[in-house]
Amino acid sequence: MGEVQPGVGMDPDRHRPNFFAGPYVDRRAEQRDAEDWARAARADPSTLYILNRGTTQLVFDGPEPRIAFVTHEHTLVREASDRQLVLLGWFRGWRTVLVDVDPDRVPDIEWLPGARFSELRPLSNALPQEEGGLLAYARALAVWRARHRYCGVCGSPLVPQRAGHVMHCPQCGNDFFPRIDPAIIVLVTDGERALLGRQAEWPPGRYSTIAGFVEPGESLEDAVAREVLEETGVSVRHVCYHSSQPWPFPSSLMVGFHASAEPNAPVRVTGELEDARWFSREELLQGPPVLPPSKSISYRLITTWLANPALGLPPDER
């Protein structure tokens, strides 16, 4: 077989990062080892701070939401202990620090004119790409810290180290690092149609690609085959990686694939899905299904297949 040309078997835009991903921040991980990092951050008047409260961050809400950065002069920054600070890196050239505010201590009042603590997920479609990525990074770290306050070995309180990126147990010496939960998400095609499913709690008419968490001792490709078979009864025969997307709700990494199945494979819904079925290209372009939000990797897997119908097919069938 000759070389596969863009538009026939490849996604010509494959290397574009998904939303929440990309080189939006210079992490400078080596700076986390500096014992005086917090003092240096506080002493630098140009340091930017993101205020985090539980699973929310301070943002300027509205039709065009933005991060509500604050400086060292803000009350919550001045009152925060060094243990509440996490060095995120350098965002647009500015040192940027997460302030992990105690959610029980702060009343729900306006801490900055025009800003409020908001959940990231409903804002993600309107946020600028770089700011969405930075908030996803901050949210994932904040959730991890909240869930790792005590040692899983001896039960002692943990203390943050390496600028908030390690939780250390001073009693038994164990270190705990940020964790992500890998999950596969896949658009399955039989060459002419795409397999989509829906969960009962989704908005009426919405269908999406098949997804599920990777289990211990399982490769990503194995997880694709198992999840599709478990949820739809369809066996996949070829799996091709497309791209990935951080998904901090609370701590997932969505690993996206295209895959193929035998033509006219019957669908049998079990478990988590309310419905699953094959959709033709015309149906996806014109309805009836309501597609996922445009910033999601699921939407991208669908639209790239619509533009490149050979995606997911074995090489000898492209």
Given a cut of 60, is residue 239 above it in pLDDT? yes
Domains with residue ranges and CATH for the chain: 29-147 (3.90.79), 149-178 (no CATH), 181-308 (3.90.79.10)
Q: Give the 3-state secondary structure of residue 223.
A: helix
Three-class DSSP category at 292: coil
Confidence of residue 55 (pLDDT cuts 50, 70, 90): very high
Instruction: Round to whole Å and give the CA distance between 98 and 110.
Output: 19
Based on the number of CB atoms within 10 Å of its own CB, is 117 exposed (0-12), middle (13-18) or buried (19 or more)? buried
pLDDT (average), residues 266-277: 92
Query: Kind of pairing, strands 252-261 and 236-247?
Result: antiparallel
Could you tell me the pLDDT band of residue 108, with boundaries at 50, 70 and 90?
low
Quote the mean pLDDT of the chain: 92
Q: Residues in the chain, how many?
A: 318
Range in 27-41, 106-120, 131-145 with the lowest mean pLDDT? 106-120
Provide the CA 221 distance to its chain's centre, in angstroms: 20
- Rounded to whole angstroms, how far apart are CA atoms 318 and 8? 7
Q: Which residues contact 213 (CB under 8 A, 6 or more apart)?
A: 181, 182, 183, 223, 252
pLDDT confidence bin for 306, thresholds 50/70/90:
very high
Share of the chain above pLDDT 90, in %: 83
Query: Count of CB atoms within 10 A of residue 118's CB?
Result: 18
How far from 74 is each of 69, 77, 78, 288, CA to CA, in Å? 10, 5, 6, 50
Average pLDDT over residues 110-137: 92
Query: Positive or negative CA dihedral for 157, 161, 164, 166?
Result: negative
Determine the pLDDT at residue 6.
34
How large is the C-alpha radius of gyration of the chain? 22
Give how far Cα 92 sits from Cα of 95, 131, 261, Å.
9, 10, 45
Q: Is the pLDDT of residue 18 over 70?
A: yes
Q: What is the mean pLDDT of residues 255-261?
A: 97
155-174 pLDDT tens trace: 999 999 999 999 999 999 99
Average pLDDT over residues 200-229: 97
Start-to-end C-alpha separation, the chain: 9
Determine the average pLDDT of the residues in 270-284. Answer: 93
Exposed e or buried b per residue across 179-213, where buried means at least 16 C-beta atoms within 10 angstroms of its C-beta: eeeebbbbbbbbeebbbbbbeeeeeeeebbbbbbe
3-state secondary structure of 136: helix
> Which pLDDT score, from 0 to 100, does residue 305 have?
95
- pTM more than 0.85: yes
Q: Which residues contact 242 (CB under 8 A, 6 or more apart)?
A: 11, 14, 256, 257, 258, 300, 301, 304, 311
